[in-house]
Amino acid sequence: MEIETIIPNRLYSIKYDEEDTAEYYRLFNEEWTDVAFLMDFFQSHPEFTENDFWGFLGNDPEIAAARVLEDANKLEPHLKELAENSDNGEQPDLEDYFKPLNGKYGYDIEHIPVKGYGVLESTFLRLYAIRIEQNCYLIVYGGIKLNSSIQNSPGLQEKVFRKIDKVKQFLVNEGIIDKDDI
């Protein structure tokens, strides 16, 4: 496992040993921008685009895939803008974007797990990260959320908490406390 720099001093991404690319690039250069992947994903889970959470889509995989593409294309420059604002002491910044991932991690005071959303009002996109220090985050996973909870959303349910726990342990083992340690 290693840490790759996305935006120096602001945004980093974990690269798992079993993966070819870091999580950030897996999301923005592969999954969230790959029409074939998105169509297959939504066609494989029609029950979720019919439920109360996403029912407004009318169970149309093409509309759902188009929303993900649009959202991802807006989210990446938005993250860069937030990082720039973080550098300049302006709002909104990365602190405004990422929200604590409560529940299991509600009492963590170091390596705090957080989540971020896409920029569209109704967004499928989720970024999961660990807060290293103020306005400095390490992306550990991301995906498409199809239900009101992680536990009931395919692709997230079996991976989010496992990956967060794995990266938190990696950070402890490597003695990474703040961005100077990265």
| Block mean pLDDT (10 aa), the chain, length 182 | 98 97 97 95 79 65 90 97 97 97 82 95 92 98 87 83 96 96 94
Q: Where does residue 147 fall: left (phi above 0), alpha (psi -120 to 50 degrees), or beta otherwise?
A: beta
Is residue 55 helix, strand or coil?
Answer: helix
pLDDT at 155: 77
CA–CA dist 1, 19 (Å, integer) = 9
Question: Tell me, what's the pLDDT at 64?
Answer: 87
| Domain carrying residue 109 | 2-181
> Is the peptide bond between 92 and the residue preceding it cis, with omega within 30 degrees of 0?
yes
Q: What's the predicted TM-score (pTM) here?
A: 0.93
pLDDT of residue 146: 84
Number of C-beta neighbours around residue 88 at 10 A: 9
Work out the number of other CB atoms within 10 angstroms of the CB of residue 93.
20
pLDDT at site 52: 63
Domain count, the chain: 1
Buried b (16+ CB within 10 A) or exposed e, 154-174: bbbeebbbebbebbbebbeee
